[in-house]
Amino acid sequence: MSELKTPQELGTEKIGKLLIRYAVPAMIAMLASSLYNIVDRAFIGHGVGPMALSGLAVTFPLMNLSAALGSMVGVGSGTMISLKLGQKDHESAQMLLGNSVTLNILIGVLFGALSLIFINPILTLFGATDVTIGYSREYMIIILAGNAFTHLYLGINCILRAAGHPNKAMVATIGTVLLNTFLDYLFIMVFHWGIKGAAIATVISQVLAFTWQCFQLSDKSELIHLKKGTYRLRGDLVKNIITIGLSPCLMNAAACFVVLLINRGLLKYGSDVAIGAYSIINSIGFMVVMMVMGFNQAMQPIAGYNYGARKFDRVLRVLYLTMFFGTCVTTLGFAVGEFLPDFCIRIFTNDPELTAIAHNGMIINFIFFPLIGSQMVIGNFFQSIGMPGKSIIMSLSRQVLLLIPFLIILPHYYGINGIWYSLPASDILSVILGFSLLIPQVRKLKKMI
Amino acid sequence: MDKHYCICIGRKFCSGGRNVAAIVAEKLGIKVYDRDLLKKAAQNTGFSEQFFDEADEEKTRKGLRSLFTGHFNGNGFSNNYLSNESIFNMQSDAIRKIHETEDCVFIGRCADYVLRDSDRLLNVFIAADINDRVARVCRHAGEGMTESKALSLIEDIDRKRSSYYNYFTGRTWGDTAVYDICLNSTTLGYEKCADIIVSLAKEKLGI
């Protein structure tokens, strides 16, 4: 939030120029985190085997749930800290930093320990079979053991961003991706540690990133730094952190529930291999989605400021431009997915069975991609102009509310293809919903110009 | 020492805080800032008044809606100029600017927290007996207001003011330790409350 210190220019500078300037750093961060997924899966697919890929895919809902809890603390404390820094209330900001560290450790250890105790039933529930559970467990035990570090790393990154160091946060993100790539190569390709190697690489790179962050935050000349006496939890601070962070957390948790449904459906109507195929499709789709999110993040301050300043012509212009860019990105994704699916799949595997399933899935899944760019932008647009309710309906509709009925009904008629059909079916419905919410809003804005 | 002094008045809903503030301001020959403050803030940022009203201290959300949309307008994960946090910051800037340029009385809006580092600040809280407040609400609202409706309105607005204040300041709204003095306008009357505040202000703020 602090990178936006000059709001006036948001009301005067050319929209295209502003959008690009805000979008580039956001897109780099987004690309980095989606690359992380791709790299891990590519090394496991090629270095360990197609079944390991399925074993890894089974663990995603659990990892997402953990990330959801991490983001709750991160977003909550980041928002509070940036508020306190705005008020020059450094003491409270410091307390919040200390409290968020404690909270992250507490939740991280608790979540890790509970999941470790119940690891077998959890993985079975998430769609692991006798063939894949060995891989899932081997991977997850190490990840869960390092779970507190994952939370700390993600949480402090949010705080670095909120405290006016977005560049440091970006260095940590990119550094972790590069380190993880190198260690993946070393552990899987050179040492032949198997899927365990990927987990160790992840934990090591997060521990190192966290150490670097601590180093950054221990500089006493900084406005906020890690300090003795701030780690004891204070009820009111914890309450505020959780109140703010709960809504992004619930959104993530809902998304992870849907992945669980998809995985179980793929297993029921297909096989273990199909779960691996979905994780390949998902990685590519995720990258496209993340790039649109980069534009969305850039649109927020521009649309928000101009809406507040009642410059509605500029609000509409940034909306249209972002929708255009978003559509370009998703159309590119569409082209790659429809015309070069095997090229994408080869990044992850050479296995003919897996390739065939992923090929079929990708062609179905990406069919409405050119349209979802604008759907995502619309959802975010409502967020930017202070209508979080509509924005949440938009993001839940595509990934949860409209998807779940399709996931339950369609496979009865079409078998495994029913699962693949569900995704574009909910895409197209949510696009219609999006435009039916947006058009009246645009009319209202046009009247006010 | 700060060039200008200020008196910050916190108040329970319908406790006569505004009346007391007006008398104090008249006696000292200074201005009262309440909602006007929002307009002032609006002018400086180019934002329309409407958004400051929406983010006001009596507009917090509760229940299921707040669970999904955030406690206040706009939720945590957006970089948004319309979030309550950023509007609170703009409002705070306006409060500081006013404090730098004139002596005045602030009503509510966490001004006591925003100006906490000032050495010429008197922080007052005004409360009143509940029967008195209910009667006041009924008198002001006119037709259709019953005692039980008035009571729940009072509870609702007090709760909103409290959660707004506690959220933004980290202090506890209405906690005696926060204020220099807490007065009951039922037992003392508006005039006497104002007298006490003025004499205390003269002593403490070096007027």
The whole-number pLDDT of residue B26 equals: 96
Comparing B7 with B94, the larger pLDDT belongs to: B7
And the tokens for B108? 């509510």
The whole-number pLDDT of residue A1 equals: 37
pLDDT tens for residues B134-154?
Answer: 999 998 887 788 899 999 999
Task: Evaluate whether A105 touches A187 at the Cβ level (below 8 Å).
Answer: no
Gap between the terminal Cα atoms of chain A: 28
The whole-number pLDDT of residue B1 equals: 80
The whole-number pLDDT of residue A10 equals: 81
Among the partner-chain residues B65, B77, B89, the one whose CB lies closest to the CB of A86 is B89
Angle value at C-alpha A219, between A214 and A220, nearest 5 degrees: 130
| Backbone dihedral region for residue B74 (phi beyond 0: left; psi -120 to 50: alpha; all else: beta) | left
Rounded Cα distance between A177 and A202, Å, is: 9
Confidence of residue A384 (pLDDT cuts 50, 70, 90): confident
Mean pLDDT of chain B: 84
Using CA atoms, how far residue A352 sits from A44, A53, A189, A197, A402, in Å, is 16, 14, 21, 25, 33
Residue of A247, A251, A390, A391 to mutate when probing chain B, most B C-beta within 10 A: A247
Residue B50 clears pLDDT 90, i.e. is over it: no
Confidence of residue B46 (pLDDT cuts 50, 70, 90): low
CB-CB neighbours of A38 under 10 Å: 19
And the tokens for B31? 């201005």
Residue A334 clears pLDDT 70, i.e. is over it: yes
Starting at the edge strand found earlier in the chain, the sheet holding B31-33 runs B31-33, B104-107, B6-11, B121-127, B181-184
pLDDT tens for residues B9-19?
Answer: 999 999 999 99
Residue B87 clears pLDDT 80, i.e. is over it: no
Residue of A244, A311, A449 to mutate when probing chain B, most B C-beta within 10 A: A244
Mean pLDDT score, A336-349:
96
Element of type H or E holding B126 = strand B121-127
Q: How far is A90 from chain B (nearest CA, A)?
A: 12
- Which residue in A has a C-alpha nearest to residue B47's C-alpha? A309
B168 has a chain A CB within 8 A of its CB = yes
Confidence of residue B72 (pLDDT cuts 50, 70, 90): very low
Contact A83 B88 (CB under 8 A): yes
The whole-number pLDDT of residue A71 equals: 85
Residue A182 clears pLDDT 60, i.e. is over it: yes
From A6-10, A156-160, A305-309, A343-347, the region with the lowest mean pLDDT: A6-10
Residues of B with CB below 8 A from A297's CB?
A: 79
The whole-number pLDDT of residue A150 equals: 94
pLDDT tens for residues A428-443?
Answer: 999 999 999 999 999 9
Residues of A with CB below 8 A from B66's CB?
A: 243
Rounded Cα distance between B104 and B32, Å, is: 6
Please give the single-letter amino acid code of residue A396.
Answer: L
Contact A244 B68 (CB under 8 A): no
Tokens 């521990």 belong to residue:
A207
Mean pLDDT score, A395-414:
93
pLDDT tens for residues A251-295?
Answer: 888 888 999 999 999 999 999 999 999 999 999 999 999 999 999
And the tokens for A8? 């006036």
Residues of B with CB below 8 A from A96's CB?
A: none
Whole-structure pTM value: 0.85
Contact B79 A297 (CB under 8 A): yes
> If contacts are CB pairs under 8 Å, which of residues 77-116 in chain A contact chain B?
78-79, 82-84, 86-89, 92
- Residue among A442, A308, A306, A248 nearest B82 (CA): A308
Residues recorded for chain B: 207
Mean pLDDT of chain A: 92
Using CA atoms, how far residue A342 sits from A49, A284, A332, B117, in Å, is 17, 12, 16, 65
The whole-number pLDDT of residue B125 equals: 97
The whole-number pLDDT of residue B78 equals: 45
Mean pLDDT score, A366-380:
95
Helix, strand counts (H, E) of chain B: 10, 5
Element of type H or E holding A64 = helix A60-86
In eight-state DSSP terms, residue A385 is T
Task: Evaluate whether A382 touches A375 at the Cβ level (below 8 Å).
Answer: no
Residue B5's φ and ψ, nearest 5 degrees, are -105, 165
Confidence of residue B76 (pLDDT cuts 50, 70, 90): very low
Residue A240 clears pLDDT 90, i.e. is over it: no
Tokens 């015309």 belong to residue:
A339
Three-state DSSP at A363 gives helix
The whole-number pLDDT of residue B121 equals: 96
Residue B125's φ and ψ, nearest 5 degrees, are -125, 135
And the tokens for A394? 């938009």
